[in-house]
Amino acid sequence: MNGGLLGVALRRVAIAIPLIFLVAVLVFVVLRLIPSDPIAMSVPPNATRDEIEALRREMGLHLPILDQFAIWFGKAIVGDFGRSIAFTQPVLRLIGQSLPATIELVVLAAIFATILGLSGGLAMYQMRGRAGETATDLVSTLVMSIPEFLWAIFFILLFGVALNVLPFTGRLDSGMTVGRHTGFLLIDCLIEGRFAALGSALLHMLLPALALALGTAPLLMRVLRSSLLEVTNEDYMVMARLRGFPERQILLRHAFKNAFLPTLNLMGVQFSFLFGGTLLVEVIYSYPGIGNLMVEAVRNTDLPIIQGVALVYAVAVLAINLAVDLLALFLNPKLRVAK
C-alpha cells in the first residue's frame, strides 16, 4: 500500500514540475506585457535618463523577454528569486519572513472550514425535509454569496468595534513581543513557554481565519449533504438499518465514510483557494503574510516579489492537491487499483 502511495506521489510530483514551470513562464510573460515600468518606483523622482537606463541594464530589463526569463528561472531554481525593487531585500528572505504567518492562518481557516462544513453537512442531512434544512440552506447560500473581505470588515465591526471582544490588527497584543525562532508564531510562543502570548496570537487569528473559512465551509456543507443523500438508500445502508443499528452509528460509520470522499476532493480545491483569499483579508487585518506582501508588491509593480509569491501560490496549490489525493487514496483502496 505504501509503495502504491509513494508511486502516486512521485508521479504527481513529476507532473507538478512542468506545471510550475508553465506557471513561472505565464506569470513572467504576463508581468512583462503589462503597460507599467517596473523601475518607475525604484528610482528617485529626479533621476536622470542616464541613471534610469543604467538601472534598467543592471536589472536586465533591456534584454529580450526570453533572455530575462532564462536568467530569472536559472537563478530561481537554485533559490535566488532576485531582489525586491521596493524593499531592496532578497525576495526569498521576504517570502520566508511572511510565509509562516500565512500558513498558520490558512491551516486555522481550513480547520474552521472543515468543522463548520462537515458539522453543517451532517446537520442538514439530519434535518432533511424539514424547515431546519431550508433555513440552513438559505444561511449557507447567504454566507457563500458574501466575499471573504466583506466578512472580514463585518467581523471587525461586530467583534472588534461593537462588542469590542476580539483584536483585529496584527498577530499579537501591542504590549507583547515574542522572539522569532521558526516564524510560526504559535510554535515560537510554545518554544518560549509564553502561553499568554499564545492565547493572544490565537485570538488575533480568530477573525481572519473565520472570514477565510466562510468562503469554503458552505460548499463543503452542501457537497457533504448531497453525498449523504446519494448514499442514504444504498444497499449497505438499508442492510444496516435492517440489522437494527442506531441511525447515528449508520450515519457516522457507513454513510459518512462513503460520502466523505467527494467532500475531500472538494476540500483540496477549496483549501487551495484559501491562499488566494489571504490577499485582501491579510491587508484588512494588518496580518503580515504573503498575501499582504503580494498586495504591496502589486502596488509598487515589484516584479521580483510578484513572481516569487506567484510561484509560492502555485506550489501551495499543487502540494495541497497532492496531499488530498494521497489522503483519498489512503481512505479508498478502490482508487489505488484504478491508479
Q: Under the criterion CB under 8 A, does residue 78 sit at the interface with other proteins?
A: no
Q: How far is the CB of 165 from other proteins (least distance, A)?
A: 5
Interface residues for other proteins in 197-236 (CB under 8 A)? none
Q: How far is the CB of 135 from other proteins (least distance, A)?
A: 13
> Per-residue x/- marks for other proteins, 244-263, CB under 8 A?
--xxx--x------------
Report the residue from 16, 52, 190, 229 that binds other proteins according to the rule CB under 8 A.
52
Distance of CA 210 to the CA centre of its chain: 13
- Amino acid letter for position 286: S
Q: How many CB atoms lie within 10 A of CB 70?
A: 12
The DSSP code sequence of 121-149 is HHHHHHTTTSHHHHHHHHHHHHHHHS-HH
Q: Which of 32, 92, 107, 160 binds other proteins (CB under 8 A)?
A: 160
Measured from the CB of residue 283, what is the shortest distance to other proteins in angstroms?
6
Q: List, in order, residues 6 or more apart from 283 with CB less than 8 Å away.
A: 291, 292, 295
Q: Determine, following the binding rule CB under 8 A, whether residue 119 of this chain makes contact with other proteins.
A: yes
User: Whose CA is closest to 233, among 264, 259, 263, 262?
Assistant: 259
CB nearer other proteins, residue 7 or residue 246 = 246
243 binds other proteins (CB under 8 A): no
The reply on whether position 284 binds other proteins by CB under 8 A is: yes
Q: How far apart are CA 28 and CA 34, in angstroms?
A: 11
Contact stretch for other proteins (CB under 8 A) within 32-40, 218-226, 257-265, 325-333: 32-40
Residue 192 binds other proteins, judged by CB under 8 A = no
Stretch that binds other proteins, among 104-112, 210-218, 226-234, 283-291 (CB under 8 A): 283-291
Cell readout for 269 is 480545491
Which pairs with CB-CB distance under 8 Å and at least 24 residues apart come from 291-299?
291/102, 292/98, 293/94, 293/95, 293/98, 296/86, 297/84, 297/86
288 touches other proteins by CB under 8 A:
yes
Residue among 20 and 92 whose Cβ is closer to other proteins: 92
For cell 477549496, name the residue: 270
Do 274 and 109 meet the contact criterion of CB atoms below 8 Å apart? yes
CB of 233 to other proteins, least distance (A): 16
Touching other proteins, residues 170-189 (CB under 8 A): 170-175, 177
Nearer to other proteins, 134 or 177 (CB): 177
The torsion angle over the Cα atoms of residues 157, 163, 168 and 173, rounded to 10 degrees, is 160
Q: Taking the complex as a whole, how short is the minimal distance between the CB of residue 246 and other proteins, in angstroms?
A: 6
Q: What is the phi/psi pair of residue 146, to 5°?
A: -100, 125
Residue 38's nearest CA partner among 59, 24, 54, 23 is 59
- What is the contact surface with other proteins in residues (CB under 8 A)? 35-38, 40-41, 43-47, 49, 51-52, 55, 86-90, 94, 97-98, 119, 122-123, 126, 153, 156-157, 160-161, 163-175, 177, 246-248, 251, 282-288, 292-293, 296, 299-301
